[in-house]
Structure 1
Amino acid sequence: MNMLLSRRNLMLALAASGTVPLVSARAAIPATSRTLCYIGGYNKHAPPGGAGNGQGIAVFEMNRQTGGLIPVTTYMDIASPSFITMSADSRFLYALSEIDDFNASHDGSVTAFSIDPVSGELSRLNAVSSGGAVPAHLSVHHSGRYVLVANYVGGSVGVLPIRADGSLGEPTDVVHNTGPRMPERAEDNPPGNYAVSDHSGSHVHMVASDPSGRFVLACDAGLDRVYVWALDIATGKLRPAATPFINLIPGSAPRHFAFSNDGKIIYILCEQDSKVVVASFDPRTGALTPVQKVSTVTSYFQGSTLAAEILLSPNGRFVYASNRLGDSLAVFRVSPRDGTLTLVDEVWMHADYGRAMMFDPSGTFLYCANQRSDSVTSFRINQETGALDFTWHFTAVGSPTTFAFLQI
């Protein structure tokens, strides 16, 4: 017993110094061929009112036949990793910390990890400022040379250079959005929706490049705009596109987006009025032209809800959106003619406050992170109809909000 305690104390000391990753008492991930699922969320280190029940980045092994998730280990040496993503080659994992006390400027942070290609184990490389307070989303630019960060409270987009070893440098650019004050609610709310979105100023909620990598787009939920920039790959600087942004319905709070596989259609999810705006995208100029708006809840729904996440199925035939408060998953069929959407089903997520969703690498299952239920639920996808069949697997995770999968 004393030997075990001494070894644990040694590991804790090494982890604090950055020498080894801090993990739970479970065994290291064995080197076998399988699918791993990394889940992040909120823990005790968070701004006032933002703390959660998570411990860090939890790792699970996926049962490829049933969709069940088996606990493996937890990396605890990170504050509130509410969004994580991987590099295209699966060599590195990047996790933001949704905090405002990383430095004297009250910024959040982004931590870089290397991924062992055989075991999937994470090793911390470094952590840098996100370029603003309380980041909410990050992505790797298609060039593989930058991590893009959306700073929600900071109202900014940060560009972080990726070094040769996968670690991150200080921001090469931080762009702050400005605009007029918007209303808390949109005019086209679902009936009886009392939920509001914060429109006190700029609140960037997602940032990512288009499929070509030529442009960078960001949803600003506070200003009700979608911004478009060109990224100078050599300098890491953002330059406004010819049309630098489009205005959406005041109060609608654009939150996340997903591109069609050919990059010519973008599906923009608005949080406050729970609508999807379908827009054409010109990959040459970055111009956005809205062509349709469709609800994420059926005409029968009444009450409070806030939309959260949107995904395009790997085959490009269906779009899925999650509704917090309403606790449902919307299933849309994509028109093969023009990419417009038809709502074909609204499915109970079997838990409370579903946020992020993610497909497993095979596209067989859809997973939903249910923040207030401290659980993950999963659904088997009908590849022909897009229908979701609940697997009856509940995975206990404290305040989950984000996923990343690794096939090894």
Structure 2
Amino acid sequence: MSTTVTRRHFALGAAALGAAATLSAQPAHASVENMEDTNVEPTGPGRIICYVGGYTKHGPPGVDGYGLGIASFQMDRSTGALTPLDTFTDIDSPSFIVLSKNQRHLYALSEIDDFNKEGDGCVTAFAVDPRTGALTKQDVVSSGGAVPAFISIHPSGKYVLCANYVGGSVSVLPIKADGSLGEATDVVRITGPKMPERAADNPVGNFAVSDHSGSHPHMIAATPDGQFVLADDAGLDRVYVWRLDLKTGKLIPAAVPFYQMLPGSAPRHFVFNKQGTLLYNLCEQDSHVVVSKFNPKTGAMTVMQRVIALPPYFKGSSLAAEILISEDDKHVYVSNRLGDSIAVFGVNPDGTLTLQDELWTHADYGRAMEFDPTRNFLFVANQRSDTVTSFRHNKRDGQLKFTKLYTPVGTPTTLAFLITQP
């Protein structure tokens, strides 16, 4: 299968790093100077396990990664240091992983296009040992399209939702009673007009482009109450809205089936506030966050604000990657690749955003970000640097401070955390 994945080739092909990073037998760098222990909760039941996935040698077309599979680490609650535990290697390019709500199952997509004769990617279900965090493969099913980029679990716990980036489709995979997966109950194939490579508000000096050759779904996830399912299509610059029939596993278009974003902006990832009334949508190409009111009863969206996730003094190429919201809904965080920064936004009373801070990721091509379960640390998977960096998170004011800790792991792109049973 011949494909052109402009964004992914820009991300990886231009960054031909040297030898693969390998897991050290020793804990990650443990030198922490002048750290403020304002939020530390060093005691408590269970260990904190961090899973890291990414690109392996067998990955997206034209891309070789340095990862070995899904690596697991134990996190030190006081410092955030990650100590290697194990690596599950019988999987290709697990570039996105997610844990079930009860943390008994982990689901990992494989960002490939040769799982079957149709040229699909796949999703693997794992059982998780609650005491050790060890992974046991249960089954593998087609993702319903080529080169999947994102999976999430519907709040009902009945379905895994999958976005197939190159395949131009989204799929619904049923979760069986034992946590394994069934074949897709629905695959929606998306079409639309070709969009421009760059948005009209492309940052000054930005030569990076997102692939607008066709439909490229980059994220699919449900609203907090599970009433609606949304998908960001970075190729068609649209946000799709469906209802999910929990009995049949079929996606039913909402009254307004999609919303058109700024042409060329490439909507990538989104987050909701807890009430599901505010939607923060991150656009990859122009590094903007689009803030919208969301009606949880009708699925209607009303744009309130478009704000850039780069400081006014930045000039050059950048592609936004990940967006997170704090537990109290008071801060929003955005990672910027190429610019290698994290933007910290304060959430105003009306839900709009104000840029408060911008920090260097201390590595190259920070992609996925994730808070640990205590919310005392924010971790960043730096795809080109083959390392995970971390920041101490002040839960009172939302600010971040670099821990000076590096954890080597080949081509990391995704993170997930588990608390083991004592």
- Normalising by structure 1, we get a TM-score of 0.92
1:64 aligns with 2:77: yes
406, 412, 419: which one pairs with 1:394?
Answer: 406
Partner of 2:67: 54
The amino acid that maps onto 2:286 is: D
The amino acid that maps onto 2:419 is: Q
1:348 aligns with 2:345: no
Q: Assess if the C-alpha contact under 8 Å between 2:61 and 2:113 holds in 1.
A: no
310, 334, 345: which one pairs with 2:323?
Answer: 310
The amino acid that maps onto 1:365 is: F
Partner of 1:373: 385
Q: 1:49: Cα distance to partner?
A: 2.1
* Aligned counterparts of 1:138 and 1:94: Cα–Cα separation in 2: 8
Partner of 1:256: 269
Partner of 1:36: 49
* Aligned counterparts of 2:114 and 2:367: Cα–Cα separation in 1: 24
Partner of 1:216: 229
Partner of 1:6: none
* Aligned counterparts of 1:68 and 1:177: Cα–Cα separation in 2: 43
* Aligned counterparts of 1:47 and 1:364: Cα–Cα separation in 2: 34
Q: Secondary structure at the match of 1:309?
A: strand
183, 187, 204: which one pairs with 1:191?
Answer: 204
166, 176, 179: which one pairs with 1:163?
Answer: 176
The amino acid that maps onto 2:128 is: I
* Aligned counterparts of 1:284 and 1:386: Cα–Cα separation in 2: 31
The amino acid that maps onto 1:353 is: Y
Q: Residues 67-110 of structure 1, C-alpha deviation per residue, up to 9 Å, x if partnerless?
A: 11000100000000000001111110000000000000000000
- Higher RCO structure (Cα 8 Å, ≥6 apart): 2
Q: 1:117: Cα distance to partner?
A: 1.1
Q: Assess if the C-alpha contact under 8 Å between 2:256 and 2:300 holds in 1.
A: yes
* Aligned counterparts of 1:319 and 1:49: Cα–Cα separation in 2: 34
Q: 1:264: Cα distance to partner?
A: 0.3
Q: 1:150: Cα distance to partner?
A: 0.3
Equivalent residue runs for 1:202-281 within 5 Å:
202-281=215-294
Partner of 2:106: 93
* Aligned counterparts of 1:124 and 1:233: Cα–Cα separation in 2: 26
Q: 1:25: Cα distance to partner?
A: 12
Q: Secondary structure at the match of 1:102?
A: coil
Q: 1:387: Cα distance to partner?
A: 1.2
Q: Residues 339-383 of structure 1, C-alpha deviation per residue, up to 9 Å, x if partnerless?
A: 110001110000000000000001110000000000000000112
Q: Residues 136-159 of structure 1, C-alpha deviation per residue, up to 9 Å, x if partnerless?
A: 000000110000000000011010
1:172 aligns with 2:188: no
Q: 1:47: Cα distance to partner?
A: 3.0
Q: Alignment RMSD, CA only?
A: 1.2
- Normalising by structure 2, we get a TM-score of 0.89
1:102 aligns with 2:89: no
Partner of 2:148: 135
* Aligned counterparts of 2:217 and 2:24: Cα–Cα separation in 1: 37
Partner of 2:30: none
The amino acid that maps onto 1:122 is: L
Unmatched tracts of structure 2, length 5 or more: 1-22, 26-44
1:77 aligns with 2:90: yes
* Aligned counterparts of 1:25 and 1:235: Cα–Cα separation in 2: 47
* Aligned counterparts of 2:251 and 2:325: Cα–Cα separation in 1: 27
Partner of 1:282: 295
291, 299, 304: which one pairs with 1:291?
Answer: 304
Q: 1:321: Cα distance to partner?
A: 0.3
1:323 aligns with 2:333: no
Partner of 2:17: none
Q: Assess if the C-alpha contact under 8 Å between 2:49 and 2:417 holds in 1.
A: yes
Q: Residues 251-270 of structure 1, C-alpha deviation per residue, up to 9 Å, x if partnerless?
A: 00000000011110010000
* Aligned counterparts of 2:383 and 2:103: Cα–Cα separation in 1: 26
Q: Residues 192-211 of structure 1, C-alpha deviation per residue, up to 9 Å, x if partnerless?
A: 00000000000000000000
Unmatched tracts of structure 1, length 5 or more: 1-23, 27-31
* Aligned counterparts of 1:82 and 1:46: Cα–Cα separation in 2: 9
Q: Assess if the C-alpha contact under 8 Å between 2:369 and 2:380 holds in 1.
A: yes
* Aligned counterparts of 1:68 and 1:394: Cα–Cα separation in 2: 8
Partner of 1:383: 395
* Aligned counterparts of 2:375 and 2:232: Cα–Cα separation in 1: 26
Q: 1:214: Cα distance to partner?
A: 0.7
Partner of 1:357: 369
* Aligned counterparts of 2:265 and 2:51: Cα–Cα separation in 1: 31
* Aligned counterparts of 1:215 and 1:309: Cα–Cα separation in 2: 21
Q: Secondary structure at the match of 1:194?
A: coil
Runs of 4+ displaced beyond 6 Å = none
Q: 1:33: Cα distance to partner?
A: 2.6
* Aligned counterparts of 1:48 and 1:143: Cα–Cα separation in 2: 34
The amino acid that maps onto 1:304 is: S
Partner of 1:151: 164
The amino acid that maps onto 2:177 is: A
* Aligned counterparts of 1:25 and 1:338: Cα–Cα separation in 2: 47
Q: 1:119: Cα distance to partner?
A: 1.2
* Aligned counterparts of 1:48 and 1:116: Cα–Cα separation in 2: 33
The amino acid that maps onto 2:276 is: G
